[in-house]
Amino acid sequence: MSLLYSLLGFAILLGVLVFIHEWGHYAVARLFNIKVLRFSIGFGPILWRRQWGETEWALSAIPLGGYVKMLDEREGPVPEVERDRAFNRQPPWKRIAVVAAGPLINLLFAWWVFALIFWLGYETVRPTLTPPPQQEGWWIVQQVDQHPVYSWGDLQGAIIQQRLSEKAQVMLSGVLWPQMSQYDRILPLQGLSVDGEIRQWLVQQNLSPKMPPLQPIIGEILPGSPAEQAGLQPGDRIVAIGGKPVRQWHDVVQAIKALGGQQVVLTIERQGIEQVVSVQVGQGKDGSGRLGVKVDMDQALPEPFRAQVRYGLVEALAQGWHKGWQFFTMTLEMLGRMLTGEAGLHNLSGPVSIAQFSGQALVQGWVSFLMLMGLISLSLGLLNLLPIPLLDGGHILFDLFEWLVGRPLPESFQVAAQKVGLAVLLFLMLLALSNDMIRLIYG
């Protein structure tokens, strides 16, 4: 099933982003009356084609990109009557506009996707930090430099935008836990909020999320699992395992992990009534126990740690722009680190990893999938603008030289540069694919 989700998610994600990218080239070419011969999603042998107007629309066998083929005298004879519509006959600024339109529309599309997420709204888990040892409770991060943060992704993005030596203002609100007996549920924390305060926070990039304690409430039973065979149901609250009380989901995970292959008695609460259930705990390859249940986040997470994010259209556009800028700077920083050797090339991901991420995001819901689509669209646009021959950025660089100097680069130089660019791209593609295989095999 996970393979099916990965293939489906990958097909939707790549299909949409490639279409958007190539449509940018196509739309600007048509705007300048340049003849477009073919619009293809995919490379290689054509699987399906249809003629609409003067353009052939096609689906090709290798679904890892696409292309727009324009009339060009460098690729074959062009009738005299159509030479003015050939791409190579256009002034440099028009060629730059056509080539740049693809990656730029990817950047704009990412902004629109992020804005759509903020406009439709979603629920998230607030970023929480544990306070110093002398203080109790939790810190919930609300703002970083006056920008609201609603999740760990928001917080990490805001942190990465800062330099290591700088300080950022972080607004925190505290939550104190009430005294609880062993079986108390966590109720709304009226009267226990601590006034929000502004603290100077030395920005570090090694902050890690600290989840609040989750109540041991079952949200999902995996098919064929020990939990299903024992008759456990979604909504059951695990009270004790082997006679030992459990207070939070972490207790359940740790207890079951140590009971692989053993028969154990669970005390559960179902519709307010305690029951006893005997379970044969499963065993993983590493010998650890497996129960086959997932936590119910909606019931298990206390209300102060949830956030409903939703904006009006204008503010959603502004928040979408801010989110896009965060991802843009993060991508640039990662590229810079790779070039300087601060980050290893093992961080590169290829189509297999993207397919896995797509499947996971599809299962998690539309917010995760759209967020991934926006991030990949932004990365696609940025990477295509790199001044590497064969990429859009390389073509822009050649045309920019011709525009500024008044003559094109020697053809021999362009051919040699394209060969170097091809070698670089093939190396990066093979490296990314090998990284994918290593992750797939070794995890």
How does DSSP assign 282-306, residue by residue?
A: EE-TTS-EE--EEE-HHHHS-GGGE
Closest by CA to 292, choosing from 204, 361, 363, 223, is 223
Q: Catalytic: 22?
A: yes
Q: What is the DSSP letter of 342?
A: S
Residue appearing with tokens 């989700």: 5
What is d(CA 112, CA 180) in angstroms, rounded to the nearest whole number?
Answer: 46
Phi and psi at residue 5, to the nearest 5° = -65, -40
Q: Which of 22, 166, 228, 274 is catalytic?
A: 22
What is d(CA 33, CA 374) in angstroms, rounded to the nearest whole number?
Answer: 31
What is d(CA 30, CA 56) in angstroms, rounded to the nearest whole number?
Answer: 14
Beta strands in 53-160 (DSSP E): 55-70, 122-125, 128-129, 138-144, 147-148
Q: What angle do CA 435, 439, 443 make, to 5 degrees?
A: 160
**Alpha-carbon separation of residue 311 from 117, 120, 161, 239 (angstroms):** 9, 8, 23, 40
Q: What is the DSSP letter of 181?
A: -
Residue appearing with tokens 């992750």: 439
What is d(CA 31, CA 160) in angstroms, rounded to the nearest whole number?
Answer: 39
Both structure tokens of 340: 């300087």
What is d(CA 406, CA 292) in angstroms, rounded to the nearest whole number?
Answer: 69
Catalytic residues: 22
